[in-house]
Chain A
Amino acid sequence: MSAVHDLDAYFEALLFIAERPLTTGELAGLGEVPDLQAEAALNDLGERLAEDGRGLRLQRLGNEWQLVTAPELGARLAAYAARQEARLSNAALEALAVIAYRQPCTRAEVDRVRGVDSDYVIRSLLHRRLVTEVGRRDTPGRPILLGTTFTFLERFGLTALDDLPPLTSEAAALTALTADAG
């Protein structure tokens, strides 16, 4: 029990001093435990931070982890951090939502869902580092695949992509249907 919490505490301290997100593998190597055990300890740490209402949260993107401030404190911290970003336009939010829920997805998919050319707004999302290129689809033309970033999770106070607002069920079914078709 205490050994497990030792690992939590060690990971918490490591993530506190880390200058960049750390991967599960890196943390497991540093903790000298198997990846699965490291992941369990990290999940445990994330849950305890949230349940105890601490000022920090554990954020996960793929197999990378980082400590961030609790989203509930965001508005109050913004005054200190002096970082008030310009609001995103509705068009930019829509394109971002398509990429966030469909990732990895192509520009063409964003255009199709929105029904309008989204090149400009996607470029602004790339520029703001809210989305990034995550690879290329293995289809003719090898279109660029887009995905969201840690900056995206930070900006909207999400600890992981699972925290995204749920899509309405009927729409989620439709989305799945369309994804199967495409």
Chain B
Amino acid sequence: MPLEPIPVEADPGAEAPPFELRLDVFSGPLDLLLHLIEARELDVLTVPLAEMADAYVEHLANHPVAPAELADFVGVASQLILLKSRRLLPGEPQPSARTGEDEPDEEELRRRLLEYRALRDAARQLGAWDGERVAFRREPREADLPEAPTEPMPASALADVLGRLAAIPEPEPPPPEVVPREVTIAMQITALREAMGSAGRVVLQTVLAACRSRTEISVTVLAMLELVRRRQATVEQTELFGPILVRRIGSEAGT
């Protein structure tokens, strides 16, 4: 019975998401925060960092970051939100009463930003030099490699080596039973054809009885099915587990 092809239906609900290319990849939360400050032409030294909270959170919401780095981005977001919430709640006791100075959290974050900015700028300079200012060292030449002994070798040395090689016995042939016996469908088709002989038919079980392994039995059955598929043989079985008669097509006409 021919197999019906299984229809593959496209799921109408699953539309491919639009391809999105992002160029503004930030290398970390400080990179993002610094970018937001600089994009607004604000001074890192003086900008109230609490005012950056909204922009930072909004950017983070619209531009998801890699899961591995998300915690670091969210960490800075929470710091900014904390700073902002302190400003909004006048009743909150100010940890630092000194006027004109950042409270400790803001001071710490600003210090990290400045430190990061210096290294980011240096990294940019290094990036500009990368590939432009390379200084090559001398590559070791072949002549620098350790030299082989240069003393002349007497020809007898070769004979000695040959003599020793000859003394080594040939490895014994491997025991035959460990060699996997390869059985192919083509081989078993030939076997089946031979078994059908001039009579043009054979009981499958008699062929299977000669098989030496489960694999060979399986391949023989497959070979029988292959013959049927090629319309070179028919198969009859009158009762369950009864003998399977394989009959060559055209044998009766031929003989």
Which residues of A approach B to under 8 Å, CB–CB?
16, 19, 57, 59, 66-72, 74-75, 77-78, 81, 83-85, 87-91, 93-94, 96-98, 100-101, 112-117, 150, 153-159, 164-165, 167-168, 170-172, 174-175, 177-178
| A81 to B111 alpha-carbon distance, docked (Å) | 44
Which 7 interchain pairs have the tightest Cβ spacing?
A171-B118, A157-B133, A116-B28, A74-B134, A71-B133, A68-B135, A93-B123
Q: B138 an interface residue at 8 Å Cβ cutoff?
A: yes
Contact yes or no, A115 B136, CB < 8 A: no
Interface size on B, residues (CB 8 A): 39
Query: Which of A69, A158, A174: most chain B Cβ within 10 A?
Result: A174
Question: Are A156 and B119 also in contact (CB < 8 A) when A91-B27, A115-B72, A170-B114 are?
Answer: no
B119 to A178, Cβ gap below 8 A?
no
Q: Is B156 part of the binding interface, using a Cβ–Cβ cutoff of 8 Å?
A: no
> Given the complex of chains A and B, what is the CA–CA distance between A170 and B43 in angstroms?
14
CB-CB under 8 A from B127, the residues of chain A are 87-88, 90, 93
In the complex, which residues of chain A have a beta carbon less than 8 angstroms from the beta carbon of B135? 57, 59, 68-71, 74, 153-154, 157-159
Q: Is there contact, CB below 8 Å, between B117 and A74?
A: no
**Does more than half of chain B's interface fall in helix, strand or loop, or is it mixed?**
helix
Please report whether the interface of chain A is mostly helix, strand, loop or mixed according to DSSP.
Answer: helix
Contacts A75-B132, A154-B137 given; indicate if A116 touches B72 (C-beta within 8 A). yes
Instruction: Report if B46 contacts A (CB, 8 A).
Output: no
**Those of B98-144 within 8 Å (CB) of chain A:** 111-112, 114-127, 129-138, 140, 144
* Chain A minimum-CB-distance residue to B137: A68
Can you give 14 A-B contacts (C-beta < 8 A)? Answer: A59-B135, A59-B137, A68-B137, A71-B133, A72-B133, A93-B126, A94-B119, A97-B120, A117-B69, A154-B134, A158-B135, A165-B121, A167-B122, A171-B115
